[in-house]
Structure 1
Amino acid sequence: MGMTVNAQLPLPAELKAEYPLTEKLRQIKQKRDREIRDIFTGVSDRFIVLAGPCSADNEDAVCEYVTRLAKVSEEVADRVMVIPRIYTNKPRTTGEGYKGMLHQPEPDKAPDLYAGILAIRKMHIRAMEESALTGADEMLYPENRSYLDDILSYEAIGARSVENQQHRLTASGMDIPIGMKNPTSGDFSVMLNSVIAAQNSHRFIYRGQDVTTAGNDLAHVILRGGVNKYGTCIPNYHYEDLVRLLDMYQRMNLKNPGAIIDVNHSNSDKKFREQIRITSEVLHSRSYNPQLKKLIKGVMIESYLVEGCQSIDSERVYGKSITDPCLGWEDTKRLILEIAEKC
């Protein structure tokens, strides 16, 4: 094989033993997991806001952002469940470029996977300690999630991974909500097939073991827009799209129907300030249609301390995205407060 082994990495159990969660943090996670489950099962009508940078590239900046988010969360806790996006894996369309902290804990340096798995676990734990919030990450590599599976309260499967069998089967063994994004084509059927797979039991090979999963009743969809054959972004957050999704859900025997609307990516055509307007439209659609209010559980927002984005090789601004452009902090805070008023 054309493959060189660079290093033997520690097993997830070994890393967890070296960097364990304290009893206080375990209790925080258990409480938040219960509260989030209640939202997806319809027991609670709180609205979810998943907010954070496109990619978590700097521990200090991410933890400062999450601490600020926690303060806003306290103000809106009766109406809104805030879940920080702490995304440590970055999918790349061509495989080139920065792949996230898991690969490169120092964005402008060579990949170091051992340093990366240490860095992401330490950052997630620090964020929990300083904010009392548990976060979300993307399951880009199914076997790698074991390094964080005792920490995360939400995971997403991206548009390029949602058709992958290993992602679908791994999702069926998770005990937290897993959001299946529509593929880049925008196809709803592919996305819902992934939810069906994730909600059912499967037997397969996982990390060298023969495993059987219980099925994940909290698997749901994430609408992130699509791209047509001409490369034009086609949004899918409009009222008609949501009604179509509702109709498709009603014709399927799925548990806990739910959707998160990703207000960036192909829904905004990566025009990051459009996230404010799109969120307002989603909230209006929910208020107009009681069935949509039950179906649409929340929004996903890309934001950071400083708005916009910058290149890795620049004199980087602290708290500014090095991947996709994000909303700045003041706009984010204002948007969350508006969501609490309208949801």
Structure 2
Amino acid sequence: MNLTSTKHSNRTSDLRVSEFLPLPAPADLLAELPLTDELAGVVSRGREDIRAVLNGADDRLLVIVGPCSIHDPVAGLEYAARLAAAAEEHRSDLLVVLRAYFEKPRTTVGWKGLINDPRLDGSHDIATGLFAARRFLIAAAELGLPTGTEFLEPISPQYVADLVSWGAIGARTTESQIHRQLVSGLSMPVGFKNGTDGSLQIAVDACDAASAPQSFLGIDGAGRASMVRTAGNPDTHLILRGGSSGPNYSAPDVLAASETLAGKGLNPRLIVDASHANSGKNHHRQAEVALELAATLESGHDARHRLAGVMLESFLVGGAQPHDSENPRPLTYGQSITDKCMDWDTSAVILEALAAASRRRRTGA
């Protein structure tokens, strides 16, 4: 008998794991980059304001706007500074939230975001990525901007969620039980996107499930495996992003989705994503969709009161550029390496148009 072969055959775990690399515990990272009382105020006020808009107590329009993903924190913060000035200019009509996405879902393979691969070279230095994401959120809060992000998996929120005012669950993960459980314990309003096929039912079910108490496996601040019990999240809502069946941002689409939500006893006010399938990921078309949403706000259609917010992908430079982690090349500063974004000048015009439309909706003019 070959004893070496027998010994090998008895091993049943980690056969395809190459390496385990320890990460700092969430509590250690939070202690090194703490949330000050002043920054906590920015985050908390952002959550309260977003909640008020979603519930209709605040008649402004929520606008979640920013890069498809943050790959260069320096360029991202230059964008954030411009957005902070625009947010102050339009504060009477718009509640502006900076889109700060650090994790990217991939249909097959590709760059997975700042947390997973902060060096953009396939080295996957996640510890550095967690620090970079937290530093970015702190810097955005110092500008007075509330931030929103997509939660792609259940571990990273322990490192950054205390700095986030709004969250999203993407179309690929809305149906996931893990994400519904996660949202039930998150401290901010969270939107679920409709499915990639355009179906609303999985997102409606997700809103319902995440609003209920849940018990599940997770980690605590020390990084220990724990059973997590949650109270449920009362601030779940729907995000319309279109699908393979076509766009769903029109006034009739918004009204139909709102009535479906109301029929289930859920919040009938919703957000429309002007990018993704609603614009075919075309940044020029995205601007047109945003203007059509502004027209809905100004119309006499009942949908104008069901539209709580709009999502926009925007960066300093328009479009997107290719990036290959295995063969990196110099990148254009301020241009997306994931989905195509509107440039800043176009975005400023869109924000002005949305502010004017929101003002007319609010005043009835």
TM-score range, shorter chain: over 0.9
Which amino acid is 2:242 matched to?
G
In the alignment, structure 1 residue 282 sits paired with structure 2 residue 293: yes
Per-residue CA deviation, residues 157-209 of structure 1 (Å, 9 max, x unaligned), is 00100000010011011221101001111101111001101111112222222
- Give the TM-score normalised by structure 1: 0.94
- 1:300 is aligned to 311
* Structure 1: 5+ residue stretches without partners: 229-233
Cα distance change of structure 1 residues 324 and 41 upon mapping to structure 2, 3 Å threshold: same
- 2:252 is aligned to 240
* Structure 1 position 140, deviation (Å): 0.5
Distance of 1:301 and 1:338 partners within structure 2: 13
| Aligned residues of 2:194 and 2:242 also touching (Cα < 8 A) | yes
Moved over 6 A (4+): none
- 1:125 is aligned to 138
SS at match of 1:57: coil
The one of 158, 169, 175 equivalent to 2:187 is 175
The one of 217, 220, 231 equivalent to 2:234 is 217
* Structure 1 position 31, deviation (Å): 1.9
* Structure 1 position 109, deviation (Å): 4.5
Per-residue CA deviation, residues 45-96 of structure 1 (Å, 9 max, x unaligned), is 11011111111000100001011000001110011000000100011001x1
In the alignment, structure 1 residue 136 sits paired with structure 2 residue 148: yes
Which amino acid is 1:150 matched to?
D
The one of 43, 56, 61 equivalent to 1:47 is 61
Per-residue CA deviation, residues 85-127 of structure 1 (Å, 9 max, x unaligned), is 0100011001x11100001111135211111111111111122
- 2:178 is aligned to 166
Distance of 2:251 and 2:146 partners within structure 1: 31
Distance of 1:216 and 1:163 partners within structure 2: 17
| Aligned residues of 2:69 and 2:336 also touching (Cα < 8 A) | yes
* Structure 1 position 211, deviation (Å): 2.1
Deviates more, 1:330-339 or 1:210-219: 210-219
- 1:231 is aligned to none
Distance of 2:158 and 2:316 partners within structure 1: 29
Mapping of residues 5-84 of structure 1, within 5 Å = 5-84=19-98
SS at match of 1:84: strand
SS at match of 1:150: helix
* Structure 1 position 292, deviation (Å): 2.3
SS at match of 2:162: coil
Distance of 1:79 and 1:242 partners within structure 2: 21
| Aligned residues of 2:274 and 2:311 also touching (Cα < 8 A) | yes
Q: Percent identity?
A: 36
| Aligned residues of 2:255 and 2:306 also touching (Cα < 8 A) | no
In the alignment, structure 1 residue 331 sits paired with structure 2 residue 346: yes
- 1:4 is aligned to 18
Structure label with greater radius of gyration:
2
In the alignment, structure 1 residue 342 sits paired with structure 2 residue 353: no
Which amino acid is 1:226 matched to?
G
Cα distance change of structure 1 residues 289 and 314 upon mapping to structure 2, 3 Å threshold: farther
- Give the TM-score normalised by structure 2: 0.89
In the alignment, structure 1 residue 98 sits paired with structure 2 residue 111: yes
Deviates more, 1:133-142 or 1:242-251: 242-251
Per-residue CA deviation, residues 251-307 of structure 1 (Å, 9 max, x unaligned), is 1112x3321111011110111111221112223223335642332111100010000
- 2:282 is aligned to 271
What is the root-mean-square deviation in Å for CA atoms of aligned residues?
1.4
* Structure 2: 5+ residue stretches without partners: 1-13, 220-224, 359-365
SS at match of 2:138: helix
Distance of 1:101 and 1:196 partners within structure 2: 31
In the alignment, structure 1 residue 87 sits paired with structure 2 residue 97: no
Distance of 1:215 and 1:20 partners within structure 2: 26
* Structure 1 position 35, deviation (Å): 1.5
* Structure 1 position 315, deviation (Å): 2.6
Per-residue CA deviation, residues 204-256 of structure 1 (Å, 9 max, x unaligned), is 2222222221111110011111014xxxxx111122211210221221112x3
Distance of 2:348 and 2:228 partners within structure 1: 43
Which amino acid is 1:283 matched to?
A
| Aligned residues of 2:67 and 2:313 also touching (Cα < 8 A) | yes
